[in-house]
């Protein structure tokens, strides 16, 4: 349908990669994407070994001895690997070896050699142009530039880039310095229009998070997904509030986008106060999470939530996106006289 350097090099049918979403992107979601012709990444996230074992096992049982096994990998939060890389070492020693490891939010270079020794591709996600040379030095075969529109973690609001500008700037840098490295865009991509736009901006494909978070196979609670369907793009915000409430000690250069619910609004502009004395607010958050009360618990989606209107299977989502993108690109060609 749409041929790019990404589809050619990775043997894909679709120029789409599933974002490795911590706690939400499990084995079923990654496998469904791989079976549909995209590239599926299990969200190893914080490097919890038990979680990684379970979800990689789910993917292995579904994909082992199938062609789709060539289109699956695993992703990790790099600064957490600095504390404990056991889960990375475990997945690199499995009979069904990941075909790529995705690293984001930290320096990938300390892990490059062990990933390369395993014969596995390295994918690096970056949030600033300054991080691009580090990814190239680490040997990344694919670089993902993440705009601030993305759900979950990304560059803090003060420094977050727009996907629309970040992608062509990174393409220009790569053209001059590392032309063989593939480029993906992430942040705000939820339909074929966004995918087509990325391709026109010079990307080789799209990394998709929120739209696939809101799928049948995504591990988020059904009621959280329904909140995302009802929200528009004005309804999210980036801040450190949910990291404080969830006891996640993220470096200061990153923060977290989610729906701007009642508990978030309560603490906006009061983050220092929340850090200083979080006990009562954390208890309220914990109770909300346990009860599925999303006025208090987080719904982790980006600005693309305004484009999410249903909860189909992941395979249908990625195939629909590709078909819409093909239509958009065909229409664009008619504008040339």
Per-residue pLDDT tens over the stretch 274-308: 999 999 999 999 999 999 999 999 999 999 999 99
Query: Do β-strands 236-239 and 142-146 pair in parallel, antiparallel, or remain unpaired?
Result: unpaired
pLDDT at 255 over 90: yes
Structure tokens at 159: 């420094």
Tell me the HSE value of 86 on the side-chain side, using a 13 A CA sphere. Answer: 8
pLDDT at 256 over 80: yes
pLDDT at 65 over 80: yes
pLDDT score recorded for residue 332: 86
Structure tokens at 199: 């391709």
Rounded to the nearest angstrom, the gap between the alpha carbon of residue 82 and the centroid of all alpha carbons in its chain is: 20
Mean pLDDT of 64-74: 97
E strands in the chain:
16-18, 40-45, 72-77, 100-104, 121-126, 142-146, 152-155, 182-186, 205-208, 236-239, 254-259
pLDDT score recorded for residue 336: 81
Alpha helices (H) along 118-269:
132-138, 163-177, 192-201, 210-213, 222-230, 241-245, 262-267
Q: In what order do the strands lie in the sheet with 254-259?
A: 152-155, 254-259, 236-239
Mean predicted lDDT score pLDDT of the chain? 97
Q: How far apart are the first and last CA of the chain?
A: 24
Structure tokens at 313: 């299977």
Pairwise CA distance, residues 262 & 270, whole Å: 14
pLDDT at 337 over 80: no
pLDDT score recorded for residue 334: 84
Among 125, 131, 82, 119, CA closest to 103: 125
Element (DSSP H or E) covering residue 78: helix 78-81
């Amino acid at each position: 349908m749409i041929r790019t350097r990404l589809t050619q090099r990775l043997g894909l049918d679709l120029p789409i990669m599933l974002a490795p979403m911590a706690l939400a992107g499990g084995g079923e979601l990654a496998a469904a994407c791989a079976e549909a012709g995209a590239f599926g990444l299990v969200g190893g996230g914080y490097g919890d070994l038990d979680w990684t074992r379970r979800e990689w096992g789910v993917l292995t049982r579904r994909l082992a001895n199938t062609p789709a096994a060539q289109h699956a990998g695993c992703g990790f939060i790099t600064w957490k690997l600095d504390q404990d890389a056991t889960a990375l070492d475990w997945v690199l020693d499995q009979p069904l070896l990941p075909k790529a490891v995705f690293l984001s939010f930290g320096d990938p270079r300390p892990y490059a050699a062990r990933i390369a020794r395993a014969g596995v591709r390295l994918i690096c996600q970056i949030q600033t142009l300054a991080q691009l040379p580090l990814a190239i030095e680490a040997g990344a075969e694919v670089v993902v530039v993440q705009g601030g529109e993305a759900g979950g973690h990304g560059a803090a609001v003060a420094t977050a880039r727009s996907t629309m500008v970040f992608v062509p700037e990174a393409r220009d840098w790569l053209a001059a310095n590392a032309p063989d490295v593939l480029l993906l865009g992430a942040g705000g991509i939820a339909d074929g229009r966004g995918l087509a736009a990325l391709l026109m901006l010079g990307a080789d494909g799209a990394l998709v998070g929120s739209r696939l978070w809101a799928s049948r196979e995504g591990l988020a609670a059904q009621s959280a997904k329904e909140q995302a369907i009802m929200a528009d793009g004005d309804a999210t915000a980036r801040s450190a509030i949910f990291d404080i409430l969830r006891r996640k000690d993220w470096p200061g250069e990153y923060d977290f986008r989610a729906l701007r619910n009642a508990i978030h609004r309560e603490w906006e502009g009061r983050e220092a106060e929340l850090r200083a004395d979080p006990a009562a607010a954390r208890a309220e958050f914990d109770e909300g999470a346990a009860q599925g009360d999303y006025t208090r618990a987080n719904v982790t989606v980006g600005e693309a939530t305004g484009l999410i209107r249903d909860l189909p299977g992941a395979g249908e989502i990625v195939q629909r996106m590709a078909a819409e993108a093909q239509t958009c690109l065909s229409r664009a060609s008619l504008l040339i006289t």
